[in-house]
Amino acid sequence: MEKTIIIQRYNPEQDQAPSAERYQVPFDHSTSVLDALLYIQQQLDPTLAFRWSCRMAICGSCGVMVNKIPKLGCKTFLRDYPAELTISALDHFPIEKDLISDMAVFLDHLQAVKPYLINDSKNTEPHRQTPAQLKKYQKFSSCINCGLCYAACPQFGLNPEFLGPAAIVTAQRYNLDSRDQGKAQRMPQLNGKNGVWACTFVGFCADVCPKHLDPAAAVNQGKVASATDMLISIFKP
């Protein structure tokens, strides 16, 4: 059994524009898109470039567009597609080569929200946390930074300055953590026009998230937090 895989090839240093190339790939019930890409690279065309590492949806490096929907290659299976499927690099990012996109913008945005615990460094005691306190942020803590939500977000496509779903999820994850005291440092980023307010609640980020952590909900909770922050700033002397 074989399926046709059409891959968007592009080498910015040599090609004028991306072009499509077709490959015949054998498959069975367990063949993932990543397996198919590895088969092509090892058996048919060693010049094909793509990122991958863990094969088990935890490293977040094999994100590609499969039939124009952002997917993790390792978590997407050929059996679920018709005889032909099209694979291209993640939308909304510059292409480095073939299926490798340049994630620098995303990493900048992630860094801008200070994605780490900020607290009194003099306190060396363990920070105890109740199950209820853990529950507040736990659902937002499983982000693997794969960038699928950025490829899905039409607002990020229109405005690459938008912090974007994963960065806002991560900001919320730390803001809601009882061990963290860095909310005041993160809020200015969320309060800006490229923070939570650039989101129009399309919700496609939540559809494509391979960890099902609902970035759209996090961004909207961020809107409530930002509106509250504005109210407080008005009444605070």
Q: Give me the least distance between CB of 172 and another protein, in Å please.
A: 17
**For another protein, the closer CB: 73 or 165:** 165
- 190 CB contacts (<8 Å, ≥6 apart)? 113, 163, 168, 171, 196, 222, 225, 226
Contact positions with another protein (CB under 8 A) in 111-150: 111-112
- Residue 107 binds another protein (CB under 8 A): no
Question: Are 176 and 187 a contacting pair, CB within 8 Å?
Answer: no
* Token pair recorded at residue 84: 């032909």
Candidates 142, 179, 191, 207; binder of another protein (CB under 8 A) is: 191
Q: How far apart are CA 143 and CA 211, in angstroms?
A: 7
Question: Are 97 and 47 a contacting pair, CB within 8 Å?
Answer: no
CA 98, chain centre distance (Å): 19
* CA distances from residue 171 to 21, 41, 64 in whole angstroms, order as listed: 40, 38, 25
**For another protein, the closer CB: 172 or 189:** 189
Q: How far apart are CA 164 and CA 214, in angstroms?
A: 13
- Residue 57 binds another protein (CB under 8 A): no
Q: How far apart are CA 152 and CA 194, in angstroms?
A: 17
Q: How far apart are CA 67 and CA 51, in angstroms?
A: 18
**For another protein, the closer CB: 178 or 220:** 220
Q: Give me the least distance between CB of 71 and another protein, in Å please.
A: 24
Binding mask 152-181 for another protein (x = CB under 8 A): --x---x-----------------------
Which residue stretch of 36-44, 51-59, 204-212, 219-227 sits at the interface with another protein (rule: CB under 8 A)? 219-227
**For another protein, the closer CB: 136 or 223:** 223
**For another protein, the closer CB: 54 or 107:** 107
Interface with another protein by CB under 8 A: which residues?
108, 111-112, 154, 158, 188-189, 191-195, 197, 200, 223, 226-227, 230-231, 233
